[in-house]
Amino acid sequence: YEARKFGVRSAMPSITAKRKCPELIFVPPRFDAYRAVSQQIHAIFAEHTPLIEPLSLDEAYLDVTDNLQGIPVATTIAEMIRTKIKSETGLTASAGVSYNKFLAKLASGQNKPDGLFVITPKMGPAFVEALPVRKFHGVGPATADKMARLGIETGADLRAQSLVFLEEKFGKAGPYYYWIARGIDERPVRADRERKSVGAEDTFVNDLFDLESARRELAPLVRKVWRYCAERSIHGRTVTLKVKFADFQQITRSRTIGGVIETETDLATVSGTLLEQVFPVTKGIRLLGVTLSNLSGTRAEADGQMSLTI
């Protein structure tokens, strides 16, 4: 949060972050520690509801309509969870409470890093109208730029567009934008939702020009993907390598095998073969990514819905 005053944002490429904040210090990630704390936090969630849809290690949607404690007010549950996270882990937590996933996600960003924000059904449409579309979950930078070129800057601008227009300009995402502009999101919270792929990528401060340097940078990405899969008994058949060059040109290379990737060595071998296909290069590599898809072994989905007070 200290770096945000310089324009540094989550998921920003490290080279861009360093340019915005030259004093920035990069700390090696401690994924084992993050995962352990994440498990603590998810255990706290599970005390209230089995309907937990993880978004990341530290974020999730919870449907507390028919909660295990029988508490009739969602805001009370949110405060109980925040308090217990603080007492058991020492970490602060922000929470957003609303009547659908889209608005709950927006609410969660209002009082970070240690607060609670509630959007009631009466507040929903007006709250969305006043917000820049760039802050909408599901509207990325490229889509926001396209919307701006079409004169769509705020939720009110988006709400003024017809469903036909949004489908014409944004395809399958058009109906989603049409309904969220009205504060409507019918997506249920899905517990243990099925993943379509598992991937990891990294942006480098110094561009890569030789195969050996690229291999060294690819290795921890392979390790990260495999660790995630191994912990969840996930296997896959398709490996995709993503390469972004210094001029922002992006290419991918994929291979689907007959059986499944069964070990980290298998994943490393296929990824390495794909990497070899990229070389030699005439320009520096800025980013590498590896993704495993065509997954099997994932758990079934579950969902449910009732009614309670926000």
What single string gives the DSSP state of each residue in 100-148?
A: SHHHHHHHHTTSTTS-EEE--TTTHHHHHHHSBGGGSTT--HHHHHHHH
33 secondary structure, DSSP code = H
Those residues with Cβ within 8 angstroms of residue 287's Cβ, 6 or more apart along the chain or in another chain: 13, 201, 202, 203, 204, 242, 243, 244
Mean pLDDT of 84-97: 95
Is the pLDDT confidence value at 64 over 80? yes
Mean pLDDT of 53-79: 90
153-180 pLDDT, tens digit each: 999 999 999 999 999 999 999 999 999 9
The pLDDT value recorded for residue 305 is 37
Tell the residue number behind the tokens 């449907």, with chain if given.
63
Tokens matching residue 248: 């922002």
| Tally of residues, the chain | 310
CATH 3.30.1490.100 fits 197-293, yes or no: yes
Is the pLDDT confidence value at 299 over 90? no
Between 87-101, 112-126, 187-201, the lowest mean confidence (pLDDT) is in: 187-201
The pLDDT value recorded for residue 133 is 97
The pLDDT value recorded for residue 27 is 84
The pLDDT value recorded for residue 193 is 58
Q: What whole-number distance in Å separates Cα of residue 288 and Cα of residue 214?
A: 8
Identify whether the C-beta of residue 239 lies closer than 8 Å to the C-beta of residue 292: yes
231-279 pLDDT, tens digit each: 778 889 999 999 999 998 999 999 999 888 989 999 999 999 999 999 9
**59 tagged catalytic:** yes
Domain ranges of the chain: 2-93, 197-293
Query: Which of 212, 213, 230, 232 lies closest to 267 in space, CA to CA?
Result: 230
Backbone angles phi, psi at 255, to 5 degrees: -145, 130
Just give the CATH number of 2-93: 3.30.70.270
Backbone angles phi, psi at 242, to 5 degrees: -110, 130
48 three-class SS: coil
252 secondary structure, DSSP code = E
Q: DSSP string covering 173-238, please?
A: GHHHHHHHTTT---PPP-BTPPPSEEEEEEEEEEEE-SHHHHHHHHHHHHHHHHHHHHHTT-BEEE
pTM exceeds 0.75, yes or no: no
Mean pLDDT of 195-218: 91
Those residues with Cβ within 8 angstroms of residue 297's Cβ, 6 or more apart along the chain or in another chain: 232, 233, 234, 235
State the catalytic residue, choosing from 59, 79, 167, 217.
59
Q: How confident is the model at residue 54 (pLDDT cuts 50, 70, 90)?
A: confident
Which residues lie across from 31 on neighbouring strands?
A: none
Those residues with Cβ within 8 angstroms of residue 17's Cβ, 6 or more apart along the chain or in another chain: 3, 8, 24
The rounded mean pLDDT for the chain is 89
Mean pLDDT of 285-307: 66
Radius of gyration over every alpha carbon of the chain, rounded to an integer in angstroms? 22
Is the pLDDT confidence value at 130 over 60? yes
Same fold flag, 2-93 and 197-293: no
The pLDDT value recorded for residue 308 is 52
For the stretch 84-88, contacts whose Cβ atoms lie closer than 8 Å and that sit 24 or more positions apart, written own/partner, are: 84/44, 84/47, 85/41, 85/44, 88/40, 88/44
